[in-house]
Structure 1
Amino acid sequence: MRTRSYSRNAKFALAATAAIFAATSSSSQTVSDDSVPQAGLNIPEKLTIFGNNDPNVRRATALVNGDIITGTDVGHRLALIVAANGGTVSEEEKQRLRVQVLRNLIDETLQIQEAEANEINISQAEIDQTFNQVAQQNFGQDISAFDEYLRSKGSSSETLKRQIKGELAWSRLLRRNIQPFINVGEEEVNAIIERLNASKGTTEYRIGEIYMAATPETASQIAANMRQILDQIRQGGSFIAYARQFSEASTAVTGGDLGWVRPGQLPQSLAEAASQMQVGQVVGPVEVPGGFSILYLIDQRQILTADPRNAVLSLKQLSISFPEGTTEKQATARAAQFATATQNIKGCGAANEVAATIGAAVVDNDQVRLKDLPGPLQSTIADLPIGQASQPFGSVEDGVRVLILCGRDDPQTAAAPSFDQIMSQLENERVNKRARTYLRDLRRDAIIEYN
């Protein structure tokens, strides 16, 4: 059983679209409008529009039940992906991505059309509100700066607003046409609670997934496409942005995040892959029923067991910096003196006095979660007695520092999800399954013309 939650309200659209701008680049990347998709969509590389061939006229790349998708639409949406990857996508990769972007725009158009056919209309005020929230998260109150950023990347505000409209429309359509007809019995929920209690102490995973459907005829091509996506992510591309644009699971709207799942909730191939992954690792493509997946292990924990990494620490940081021109040898000698002085500290009460004698800066922080520290420091601080200092860490450029543990609040035993939370998850799973069928039927019945 696959756990894929769908967007219930505008906050999911906000989270997904905001994630696109998590990675930015100072260089401007403009996407050409005259390139056209190639593989699989039967679009000729060179085409002629019969009649007045005016270069200032927006030409249709596809007609979806009469609604136009232009090369400009494809180019602007592609530019959002390029921006999320720091502008480092190769020209060859762009051509491949254009095909997928066009497919996404066709699906988005079908979703908006179906919502309107059901008298679901997303107001411009709703779209603008979500757009402004995204802008505020990334550019403060300066909406014009956000507009300029999008233009500098070869995209536009209207492109992002259309994406927001599609997400909101599809979400509202699912809530009206599918969710009311989903039933989950109390006995199903109670059975899951019993299994959770029986599984206490076993591992569960928080997983991100990019899923793409495949048939026997298309399997090799889909797998090749996913390997290229995986390469881009490993080179620094945004997993969330790729999931948002290309995953065919309904979790695409939340950047591919499946939430916390147990191995038994996943197809066997995904469960086996997750059990062998390290936190932060991305693997794939993994073959699953109906297609392939790329997996990202966001985190892992023990079921109904307190995670020691959730301990809240009270820390005091002592740091020294090196003057410009300091050699490695000089820095090593100074760091050794710093280490000797700090290792002799007896409790946090003496830290400020010691810092003053060695010319160190002091910073206090009483609300640091252990899991928020860099990986190499977590194991060191986890085993550190209260009142003692860590080993020095840093560099010539950034200076050297130590952390003194002044206090620790250990996490309480993790509570099981509530009855309502489990019921909601089951409902979401069933809505997602029907939503995929719904969209498949829309594709099948649509009249789509390619130019």
Structure 2
Amino acid sequence: MSWTVKLAASAAVALASVALAQEAPDDTASVATPFNSTTGLRLPSNPELFGTTLPTEVRATAIVNGTVITQTDIDQRLALLAIANGGKIPADQMQTLRQQVLRNLIDETLQIQAAKGEDIKVSAADIDKTVARVAGNVKQTPEQMADYLKGNGSSIRSIRRQIEGEIAWQRLQRAKVENGVSVGDDEVKAVIDKMNASKGTEEYRVGEIYLSATPGNEAQVAENAAKILAALKQGGSFVGYARQYSEASTSAVGGDLGWVRPEQLPAPIAAAVLTLKPGSVSDPIPVPGGVSIIALQDTRKILTADARNAVLSLKQVSMSFPKGITREQAEPTVQKFAAAVTSIGGCGGADKLAADFKGEVVQSDGVKLRDLPAALQEMMLPMQVGQATRPFGSIDEGVRTLVICGRDEVDPTAPTFDQVYSQLNEARVNLRARRYLRDLRRDAVIDFR
């Protein structure tokens, strides 16, 4: 479940810093060398072990710089993850997920503590606003959502804690990270010039789940990646899994790398992207420092007119059916609804159509045509303002139609200086924020109980 929504900029700006983060998980870029990542530790080739064996399964609580993470915290966050992915967690994935949730809660705790250390406060009112927005997105009040979460093994407290962590981390980044980042005018100009020179070439909207690995845990990471891939192929949310598992700086935005060209990506990822079709997911890809799973969301040509870039103003008219009704029983009403849609009379007739079928109307502006499901894109490409789509949906979830109230075509020109500056600056901030969190982990005192 995503508590914050981030829209990727329409400009195709080089995400060089993201690629660098993948190639060099720490501060140093990968360099051709006869040594491996453990060289600096001077480890013996046949070490003698002392003390007692560490437990292979960590299920207990943890104390992070004095702040307790309880087993209830872990269980409720696991339940939240299950809700976000539409069902129960398979038993064979439970322990892996439990470990990842604990790591996430430790990071979250460190972020909240670091913000408080800089006198950055997140008030209850700040959290209330986001909770209300999240509840509104699922057409519930905060109280109704709290009851729903409790009935499914989670709690409103778990959501509030995650929201507090995200707000605290965002404010801490602005205070401690963004002020130290600079983007030169010449860098921005170079990106714009490169885009103009690349006009007409193909670019790709890519998502990534990145898992770091060391020589000592490569097998475990590969196993985790395989389990994530299996869950994705069974319908799991790529955005949800990226938020929970990915160790790249893009995890907060569901792994979204934005619009990129193959040459902007590490070679193994670029090769995989070229073999994928929109909507498909790659097998785990070995990359320097770990493995990545790539999702290809869409393709387009740089600075070239594309009707799918149109921005729409829509009204959705939907009607629902009583629980337990069969398709045969619902079919006559669906046919009447479909006939009425053909003579809706533009957006002005949407309210009457809804009233006639005891349905509801939802208006939405600023909808990008290319963000709609593929079947709807194909149907709506030739449609004009005032026309409605054929009814779609299901008997169980409701049948609906979309009416086009406005359509603005997007000028395929290069992005503005400010747009490019903003995205370059953001990519650089994300990289520094990742390093900042790494330093917080290194300095933390964590006691597992």
Q: Determine if the TM-score, normalized by the shorter chain, exceeds 0.5.
A: yes
Which residue does 1:123 correspond to in 2? 123
Amino acid at match of 1:133: R
Q: Judging changes above 3 Å, is the alpha-carbon distance between structure 1 residues 412 and 161 closer, same or farther for their aligned structure 2 residues?
A: closer
Cα displacement (A) at 1:374: 5.3
The answer to whether the 8 Å contact 1:283/1:295 transfers is yes
CA deviations on 1:328-360 (whole Å, 9 max, x unpaired) are xxx9xxx9xx9xxxxxxxxx9xxxxxxxxxxxx
> What stretches of structure 1 of length at least 5 have no aligned partner?
5-40, 48-59, 316-323, 339-347, 349-364
Distance 1:159 1:42, change over 3 A: farther
- Structure 1 pair 382–104 and aligned structure 2 pair: CA distance change class (3 A): closer
2:429: which partner in 1? 431
C-alpha separation between the residues in 1 aligned to 2:423 and 2:378? 34
Check if 1:422 corresponds to 2:420.
yes
The answer to whether the aligner puts 1:95 opposite 2:98 as a matched pair is no
In structure 1, the partner of 2:151 is: 152
C-alpha change, 1:152 and 1:182, in structure 2 (3 Å) is: same
The 8 Å contact of residues 139 and 146 in structure 1, kept in 2 or not, is answered as no
Going from structure 1 to structure 2, the CA distance change for 1:105 and 1:326 (only over 3 Å counts) comes to: closer
Output the CA distance in 2 between the equivalents of 1:117 and 1:424: 28
State the distance in 1 between where 2:433 and 2:377 align. 42
Question: Does 2:132 correspond to 1:137?
Answer: no
1:164 is displaced (CA, Å) by 0.7
CA distance in 2, matches of 1:310, 1:132: 31
Q: Following superposition of structure 1 onto structure 2, how do residues 211-360 of structure 1 map, counting pairs within 5 Å?
A: 211-310=210-309
Contact 1:326 1:396 in 2 (8 A): no
Give, in whole Å, the separation in 1 of the partners of 2:108 and 2:313: 48
Does the CA contact (< 8 Å) of 2:183 and 2:424 recur in 1? yes
Quote the residue 2:43 is aligned against: none
Distance of aligned partners of 1:437 and 1:380 in 2 relative to their CA distance in 1, 3 Å threshold: closer
Compared CA separation, residues 2 and 286, structure 1 to 2 (3 A): farther
Provide Cα deviations, 1:227-284, integer angstroms capped at 9, x if missing partner. Answer: 1111112111122221122222232222222222222322222222222211111223
Post-superposition shift, 1:326?
A: 10
Displaced runs of 4+ in structure 1, greater than 3 A?
41-47, 310-315, 324-327, 367-386, 392-398, 405-413
Q: What RMSD over aligned residues (CA atoms) do the two structures have, in Å?
A: 4.7
Deviation of 1:157 after TM superposition, in Å, equals 0.7
2:186 maps to 1:183: no
- Deviation of 1:163 after TM superposition, in Å, equals 0.6
Deviations, residues 10-51 of structure 1 (Å, cap 9, x unaligned)? xxxxxxxxxxxxxxxxxxxxxxxxxxxxxxx9546599xxxx
Is contact 2:212-2:289 (8 Å) kept? Answer: yes
Partner of 1:110: 110
Rounded Cα–Cα distance in structure 2 between residues aligned with 1:146 and 1:201:
47
* Distance of 2:133 and 2:312 partners within structure 1: 32
Query: How far apart are the structure 2 equivalents of 1:419 and 1:74?
Result: 45
Once the two structures are TM-superposed, the CA of residue 195 in structure 1 deviates from its matched residue by 0.3
Distance 1:198-1:218 versus aligned 2 partners, 3 A rule: same
Matching of residue 441 in structure 1 with residue 429 in structure 2: no
CA contact 1:206–1:261 (8 Å) conserved in 2: yes
Distance in 2, matches of 1:185 and 1:306, equals: 30
Q: 1:157 to 1:396 in 2, by over 3 A?
A: closer
Over alpha carbons, which structure has the higher Rg? 1
- 1:207–1:435 CA distance, 2 compared to 1 (3 A): same
Following superposition, the deviation at residue 290 of structure 1 comes to 2.1
* Alpha-carbon distance in 2 for matches of 1:372, 1:111: 33
Q: Deviations over 1:130-165 (max 9, x none)?
A: 11211121134x221100111112111111111111
Q: Is the 8 A contact 1:308 1:410 kept in 2?
A: no
Kept after mapping to 1: 8 A contact 2:207/2:294: yes
Cα distance between partner residues in 2 of 1:162 and 1:46:
22
Whether the aligned pair in 2 keeps the contact of 1:184 and 1:426 (CA below 8 Å) is yes
Q: Report sequence identity in percent.
A: 49
Cα offset for 1:85? 2.1
Q: Is the 8 A contact 1:82 1:88 kept in 2?
A: yes
Show the counterpart of 1:51: none
Aligned to 1:354: none
Give the secondary structure class of the aligned counterpart of 2:298: strand
